[in-house]
Structure 1
Amino acid sequence: MASSVLPTAPPAVRWRPHAAVLAFGAFAVGTDGFVIAGLLPSVAASLHVSVAAAGQLVTVFSIAYAVFAPVLAVLTASWSRRAVLVAALAVFAVGNAITALAPDYGLVLLSRAIAAAGAALFTATASATAALLAGERERGRAIAIVMFGMTSSLVLGAPLGTVVGDRLDWRATMWLVTALGMLAVPPIALRLPAVAAGATAGLRAFLAPLGDRRVLGVLLTTVVAFTGIYIPYTYISEIFAPATGGGALLAVLLLAFGVAGTAGNLAAGKLADRRGPREVIIAVTLILAVVFVLMPLGRGTIGAAVATTLVAGFLSFSVTTPQQHLLITLARHGAGMVTSLYQSAVYLAVSLSGAVGALGLAGWGAAALPYLAAGLMALTAGLTYLSGRPRTSDGGH
């Protein structure tokens, strides 16, 4: 039946301009998530707390993001996607404005949770909305454009915010992020079609993916995949310490990872449309496993370190879009639900990567961490292969 499938945009809809606006919003949200790490010393000094305590701002943001993503998706299921996106950016802006004005540490912690709620709702809804507007044939490209905003925030937004914080004040960076988020509101409010991806089939259909073992399997695979991907990234300073000396050369590696990741995300979107998301995930994770196995060989020289990081960055971000593509294909009307759960899975993986990596670092040393990541990549490929192809009847039955 037609009502059982994920709605697709009419051919007349020009989805790329809308996806570009959503990507800009994702850029603002991503900048907010990444930039705090570079501001910790000044935040700590301003609030009269230790750097370790200031680091909990990152932890609170991540936990709140993971928790609020699915909860808010359910609460806003009956809203038009346009209303959800505008409301999400409003909450995001309020959270960051409170951060910029907060006089004490406790209020800053609370404000980071508020900003994370808006960020989580926006990112998940933006991906689902772009996929809806583009239709089935170009779904991967649309998701990749939105994710381009997120990956480019790692390359451009976070460094820009750090410079602003260094030259002015960390609170100025918070105002900058607030302004970036609000700039995306007018084009979304005035131009985005009032689609209602979740409400068209009712709340039961929206929540239906939670009872689908295939969807839950992809979410589990997402946690495994991104735990493996983020272990080398989180501990990149330790892995390549012999080549960088922990100095300015480390920034070169981080930049290389971000630039390559941005390119990989866009390439993966096209491949997912042409070859299918499942096939792309299997191929990318298997190749990435090999790259991680070879990574320790490049620890000693900066040239080899940069080359390895470029390849790893390209492949690491090539998993993001196909995973979401596969989830949306399986979910039908529950696209908003699964993209929010996907965001939760990624942030859970980020947290796990720090803990698992710390255990590996203490037990076997930095050189062994890429091998641990390689094992998780191979496991991801195996789980994705065993999950099987989405049934053709998912397109309508």
Structure 2
Amino acid sequence: MAGILGPIAEDLGVTVSAAGQLVTVFALGYALLAPPLAPPLAALTARWPRRRLLLTALAVFATANALSALAPSYGTLLATRVLAAAGAALYTPTANAVATTLVAPERRGRALATVLGGMTVATALGVPLGTWIGRTDWRLTMWLVTALGTAALAGLALLLRDLPAPAAAPGLRDRLAPLRDRRVLGAASTTLLFFLAFQTVYIYLATAISPATGGRADRLSLVLLVSGIASVAGSWLGGRLVDRVGVRRVLLTGSTVAALAFAALPWAGRSMPGALAYAVVTPLAGWAVSVALPHRLASLDPGNAQLLISLNSSALYLGTAAGGAVGSAAVALFGGRWFPLAAAVLALVAAATTWAGADAPRVVRPDAAPARRPLASLRADRPEQ
């Protein structure tokens, strides 16, 4: 949606700022509708076979985007974005969880990286493609998303084998039980803080590098394209590093590198070489971290992997939704050049939560089944590694 806010605002008679709330309501809708924050939705689908759940979620997502393309008013368009968020909130965590069940434990990092690769490719190609198609009519972009969602639905229907539902449908109390685990809350807090830091700069990147681009759209597009390509590479790299060196090292190193990049941006953003260097380094570190974050949560309690990955997605989108407000406040407080320093501090706090949470004791319920505890054999999955 980011590249077509101007045409939407002009067509529907609202300000660009109001059109920007379409992004916010999607992010908030995703965060609040994903389990465990939406227990009724989770409980309704808990015993569905995973293949059926994935197909239904994609159908909801594609239908919602078709309704967006047909929306006659701003209010209707807002409502369709919430519906699209519901489909995404069901789909993405389930896809991540399914990916980890289809491979051996030592390849789970790569499996997650493959699923997250769809998000990074969207960053690299979706924004410029959607912007180009929607330059004359923003509704064409929404029809494109509908078509892609329908194609994905057909692909899954043809290629994904049947996957069983969980053996038992946990109740609301069981679903919320992981939230009493200090390590789970710490890991979710790391996700929220890191994406808050990342989005604080990314949403206002044009402002941060305006001295380098001189306000020229072609230069900004080049930086965004390089950033998108680096995002794809970062996701691929993160999956392999998680499997090789462990989750904790990836989180600590990636968060620290991102913090240093944010801190350097006030100077790097003064020239095109500096801006391009930033566009390479930050997504490499950031998307490597984005692979490690759900892996860390899932490894804390493999029996609750899907629930914990859903929690990670909720934290991610809450951070994304808050990034716009925090970035705006930082620009107002520190100015267009220095506001990335706020993101640097947030990234360091995210690294600190990773470090502090590494040795936090895990709360184990007395009645917990052995299969629901972390498996000592999953050495590569343990956050201590």
Q: TM-score normalised by the shorter chain: which range applies?
A: 0.7 to 0.9
Q: Shift of residue 206 of structure 1?
A: 5.1
Counterpart of 1:95 in structure 2 is: 64
Identify the residue that residue 365 of structure 1 maps to in structure 2: 335
Q: Post-superposition shift, 1:48?
A: 3.0
Matched residue, 1:104: 73
How far is the alpha carbon of 1:396 from its aligned partner?
6.3
Gaps of 5+ in 2: 363-369, 378-385
Are residue 195 (structure 1) and residue 163 (structure 2) matched?
yes
| 2:258 corresponds to 1:306 | no
Is 1:250 aligned to residue 230 of structure 2? no
Among candidates 145, 148, 154, match of residue 186 of structure 1: 154
Between the aligned partners of 2:117 and 2:359, the Cα distance in structure 1 is 27
User: Counterpart of 1:234 in structure 2: which amino acid?
Assistant: I
CA distance in 2, matches of 1:291, 1:161: 28
Q: Contact 2:184 / 2:297 at 8 angstroms: preserved in 1? A: yes
Is the helix fraction higher in 1 or 2? 1
Counterpart in 2 of 1:43?
8
For residue 355 of structure 1, the aligned residue among 325, 330, 339 is: 325
Secondary structure at the counterpart of residue 166 of structure 1: coil
Q: Kindly tell me: are residues 298 and 396 of structure 1, through their superposed partners in 2, closer, same or farther at Cα, counting changes over 3 Å?
A: closer
Asked if residue 170 in structure 1 is aligned to residue 125 in structure 2, the reply is no
Superimposed CA distance per residue, residues 359-393 of structure 1 (whole angstroms, 9 cap, x where no aligned partner) = 22222223322222222222222211121269896
RMSD: 2.1
Instruction: Write out per-residue CA displacement over residues 79-133 of structure 1, whole angstroms, 9 at most, x where no aligned residue.
Output: 1111110000111011111111222222211111111111121111111111111
Distance in structure 1 (CA, Å) of the matches to 2:26 and 2:221: 24
Pairing partner for 1:224 from 188, 193, 216: 193
1:102 and 1:330 map into 2 onto residues whose CA distance is 43
Cα distance in 2 for residues equivalent to 1:55 and 1:306: 26
Mean Cα displacement is larger for which, 275-284 or 354-363? 354-363
Structure 2 equivalent of residue 135 of structure 1 = 104
The residue correspondences of 1:142-157 to structure 2 (distance < 5 A) are: 142-157=111-126
Displacement of 1:76: 1.5
Could you say which residue in structure 1 is the equivalent of 2:52?
A: 83
Match runs of 1:376-391 below 5 Å: 376-388=346-358
Gaps of at least 5 residues in structure 1 are: 1-35
1:13-66 Cα shifts (integer Å, max 9, x gaps): xxxxxxxxxxxxxxxxxxxxxxx1211222223223333332222222122111
Equivalent residues, number: 360
Supply the distance in 1 between the matched residues of 2:328 and 2:131 (Cα, whole angstroms). 26
Give the SS at the match of 1:395. Answer: coil
Give, in whole Å, the separation in 2 of the partners of 1:256 and 1:242.
18
- CA distance in 2 between counterparts of 1:211 and 1:74 reads 19
User: Equivalent residue of 2:116, what SS?
Assistant: helix
Given that 1:284 and 1:315 are in contact with CA atoms closer than 8 Å, whether structure 2 keeps it comes out as yes
Q: Could you state the TM-score of these two structures normalised by the residue count of structure 2?
A: 0.88
Give the aligned residue type for 2:347.
M
Partners in 2 of 1:348 and 1:291 — Cα distance?
A: 23
Q: In structure 2, what is the Cα distance between the partners aligned to 1:163 and 1:225? A: 30
3-state DSSP class of the match of 1:327?
helix
Q: TM-score with structure 1 length normalisation?
A: 0.85
CA distance in 1: counterparts of 2:376 and 2:42, whole angstroms: 24
Deviation for aligned residue 1:340: 1.6
Identity of aligned residues (%): 44
Question: 1:234-292: per-residue Cα shift (whole Å, max 9, x none)?
Answer: 22112111111222211221112111111011101111011111121011112222222
Cα deviation code 1:156-213 (max 9, x no counterpart): 122212222125x22222111111111122332343233346x225415655422322
Distance 1:106 1:292, change over 3 A: closer
Deviation at 1:223, TM superposition (A): 0.9
Name the CA shift for 1:195/1:396 in 2 (closer, same or farther; >3 Å): farther
